[in-house]
Amino acid sequence: MEGSVLDLPAVPSAILGGTGQDGVPLPGECPRVVLRAGRAPDGERETWVAPLAGEGTGAVALNERPLATARRLCDGDVLTLGEYRLRYENLRQAGARRARRRPQHKADWLGGIR
């Protein structure tokens, strides 16, 4: 799964974990969670994570705190599923942030500023 990207707007919800074919499986035994895409009141896309109904939540944590109910994910959040630690990053928002941080002036090849 290393380097994999899950595009939630294309698939509004996905199951993460476990070994079944009904989502994004992880090798070995681990609890499962549901990832859901949605829109915030300001129109931005957001991702929510929740323990799958009927799963034990003891081995599911978000930022080292037990995950018992649905929570919104933010860049840098760490989701723990048993032995797995997964870091969340919203690639669409990361691209927009990089574009806003670009310098206003271009440096030419001699090191001067135009």
> Which tokens belong to 4?
């994999």
pLDDT of residue 16: 86
Q: pLDDT digits over 61-85, tens only? A: 999 999 989 999 988 999 999 888 9
Domain 13-100 top-level CATH class: mainly beta
Domain boundaries along the sequence of the chain: 13-100
48 φ/ψ angles, rounded to the nearest 5 degrees: -120, 150
Within 8 A by CB and 6+ apart from 91, the residues are: 5
pTM above 0.95, yes or no: no
